[in-house]
Amino acid sequence: MESPFKVALQLCNDASLGRYLVATRPLSPGEIILKEPPLVRGPFLHTVPVCLHCGKILDNTSSRPCSKCGWPLCGGEACENSPTHQPECVLTTAKGSQINIKNFGIPHPNYQFVTILRALHLKQTSPETWRKLMQLQAYPISMNIAPPNFICNFFKLKDWSEGEVMKICGILTVNGHELPLTHPPQLVVYDRASYLEHNCRANCTKTFTDEGEILLIASEEIQEGDHLSICYTDPFWGVENRRQHLFQTKEFWCICDRCDDPSEFGTHLNSIKCPNRPCDGLLLPKSFLQEVSAWNCDKCDGIFSNNNISLLLGKIGQELAKMPKEDPKVCKQFLKKHEKVLGPHHFYMVDVKMALSHMLASQNFEDLSEGDLKLLLQITGELRMVAEKIAPAERRFLGLILYRFAKASIEMARRGENLEEFYSTLTKSKETLMEARDLLKNEPSLLQEGRMHLQIGLEMKLIDDLLTKNK
Ligand SMILES: [Zn+2]
Ligand SMILES: [Zn+2]
Ligand SMILES: [Zn+2]
Ligand SMILES: [Zn+2]
């Protein structure tokens, strides 16, 4: 079958050629577009000591230094000879002195070399992978790691130029994904997935298999010729935070359709309530892409200075940063206090509602008070609406929210003691659960969402039994 995408070229601002991925045929939500293994995988450049075979965090008692190279491992010989550990083992042994790591539990500077060595080693062991890796983009970005000449001297590297070492450092920083299968997560670089462009409302979801392959999944209808995108930042942040973060980490100012629409597709993720009484309008600047000077009300002719609004938002942001979000009471107080100033879906409110939905849903649904149950239903309904509009690619989040919504609906109907209504809610909730299960179907079993996919299947079976008995 024809590949669902191709790598295309475009002329960039700096006259270089950039690559991107484009759909070669229409794609449906949930369709797998790409599955590929990492070119390189290893610990992040700044990490506490972890086992270089399995990635687990080590301490004084669990660490068994490799007898050949000295790098810490968690097991005996099996770990020493694992293919994963060979690149740094071979290159460290060749330099003639062992690595000695005594301090655990705090980031160790030697770890910055591991994934770099694994990438460099490909030049000798897998020229084809090395060639693919070296084709990736690597613009200079401040990295806070040792300079290339230090790395070359420290490991007595003869077969690599300083330029190559520098390029590898850049490639790891620019193209690195976080692989969440271990604690702490690992750094991975993929080949074609590296050409995915960013969009704050991406049309693709990335997830991973238990083996660490990346899976790229269509998160909505995609037309032939559409660019494929993922989101490089937190899609639930407000526009100014997203753009600032993208600039700091990826060195570009996003001008996607979502950033270009101050209302963020009608969700009002950035909107403030109009202080003019009795106006119930919402304030927004004309655009966030230029420097903001004023915010205008969408109902009255109120205009407010950006300085005042920035101060106000800064204050609420500080309050939020200090707040213990694991306390449902504190979250409820925050929502109550700020509902007069912030729109209901302002990103601060969304942030707190996410935390609250998590706290409420982590309790036994039967133990929730009537008020909390209603609140959970309301919040999950709102979060679903917001996510579907601005971040349909957040399939894990959406699956989780739909699951909570369905469970809360069933519990509510159970308390209602109206049998007919109870069974009709069961039927409706089964559909919601089916949607949730579909959203989570490609999640690896190593992650909570993958296990939840199985759990939902079991719960649907129970509902089926109840519905059949009622017939
Ligand atoms: Zn291990
Ligand atoms: Zn070793
Ligand atoms: Zn954007
Ligand atoms: Zn107004």
Q: Sign of the CA dihedral 116, 121, 126, 131?
A: positive
Q: What is the pLDDT of residue 159?
A: 94
Domain boundaries defined on the chain: 45-113+135-187, 363-471
CA of 181 to the centre of ligand 2 (A): 23
- How is the chain split among helix, strand and coil, in percent rounded to 5? 45, 15, 40
Query: Considering the chain, what is the average pLDDT of its residues?
Result: 93
Tell whether the model's pLDDT for residue 16 goes beyond 70: no
Residue 164 three-state SS: helix
Q: Which of 345, 382, 375 is CA-nearest to residue 359? A: 375
| Non-local CB neighbours of 436 within 8 Å, separated by 6+ positions | 398, 399, 400, 402, 403, 406, 456
What is the C-alpha separation between 235 and 338, in angstroms, rounded?
Answer: 22
Ligand nearest to the CA of 240: 3
| Non-local CB neighbours of 67 within 8 Å, separated by 6+ positions | 80
Q: What is the pLDDT of residue 75?
A: 82
Q: Are strands 229-230 and 197-198 parallel, antiparallel or unpaired?
A: parallel
Which amino acid would we find at residue 361?
A
What is the C-alpha separation between 427 and 436, in angstroms, rounded?
Answer: 15
Q: What is the pLDDT of residue 137?
A: 85
Query: Cα 352 to chain center, whole Å?
Result: 18
CA of 232 to the centre of ligand 3 (A): 10
Ligand nearest to the CA of 271: 4
Q: What digits encode the pLDDT tens for the residues 321-380? A: 999 999 999 999 999 999 999 999 999 999 999 999 999 999 999 999 999 999 999 999
Q: What is the pLDDT of residue 364?
A: 95
CA distances to 120, 267, 454 from 345, rounded to whole Å, are 47, 7, 32
CA of 259 to the centre of ligand 3 (A): 4
What is the C-alpha separation between 445 and 194, in angstroms, rounded?
Answer: 24
- By the 10 Å C-beta count (0-12 exposed, 13-18 middle, 19+ buried), 468 is classed as exposed
Tell whether the model's pLDDT for residue 106 goes beyond 80: yes
CA of 261 to the centre of ligand 3 (A): 9
Q: What digits encode the pLDDT tens for the residues 234-289? A: 999 999 999 999 998 888 899 999 999 999 999 999 999 999 989 999 999 999 99
- 274 — phi, psi (to 5°)? -70, 130
DSSP conformational letter for 112: G
CA of 277 to the centre of ligand 4 (A): 8
Q: Are strands 72-73 and 214-218 parallel, antiparallel or unpaired?
A: unpaired
- What the block records as the tokens of 163 is 């330029």
CA of 286 to the centre of ligand 2 (A): 59
CA distances to 181, 190, 234 from 390, rounded to whole Å, are 26, 26, 11
CA of 430 to the centre of ligand 1 (A): 42
Q: Which of 67, 172, 56 is CA-nearest to residue 113? A: 172
In sequence order, the β-bridge partners of residue 178 are: 187
Residue 418 three-state SS: coil
What is the C-alpha separation between 414 and 425, in angstroms, rounded?
Answer: 9
Q: What is the pLDDT of residue 40?
A: 98
Q: What is the pLDDT of residue 308?
A: 94
Q: What is the pLDDT of residue 304?
A: 96
DSSP conformational letter for 442: T
Tell whether the model's pLDDT for residue 12 goes beyond 70: no
Q: What digits encode the pLDDT tens for the residues 158-204? A: 999 999 999 999 999 889 999 999 999 999 999 999 999 999 999 99
Confidence band (pLDDT; 50, 70, 90) for 423? very high
Q: What digits encode the pLDDT tens for the residues 196-220? A: 999 999 999 999 999 999 999 999 9
What is the C-alpha separation between 102 and 108, in angstroms, rounded?
Answer: 9
Which residues lie near ion ligand 2 (Cβ < 5 Å)? 66, 68-69, 89
Tell whether the model's pLDDT for residue 95 goes beyond 80: yes
In sequence order, the β-bridge partners of residue 397 are: none
Q: What digits encode the pLDDT tens for the residues 448-464? A: 999 999 999 999 999 99
Which residues lie near ion ligand 3 (Cβ < 5 Å)? 200, 254, 256, 259
Tell whether the model's pLDDT for residue 1 goes beyond 70: no
CB 71 within 8 A of CB 85: yes
Confidence band (pLDDT; 50, 70, 90) for 17? low
Q: What is the pLDDT of residue 383?
A: 98
Tell whether the model's pLDDT for residue 142 goes beyond 70: no
CA of 16 to the centre of ligand 3 (A): 22
DSSP per residue over 233-256, as a string?
Answer: S-TTS-HHHHHHHHHHHH------
What is the C-alpha separation between 269 and 389, in angstroms, rounded?
Answer: 11
Q: What digits encode the pLDDT tens for the residues 290-324? A: 999 999 999 999 999 999 999 999 999 999 999 99
Q: What is the pLDDT of residue 13?
A: 64
Q: What burial letters (b/e) apply to 357-366, b meaning 16+ CB within 10 Å?
A: bebbbeeebe
Tell whether the model's pLDDT for residue 144 goes beyond 80: no
CA of 269 to the centre of ligand 3 (A): 13
Confidence band (pLDDT; 50, 70, 90) for 404? very high
Ligand nearest to the CA of 281: 4
Q: What is the pLDDT of residue 417?
A: 82
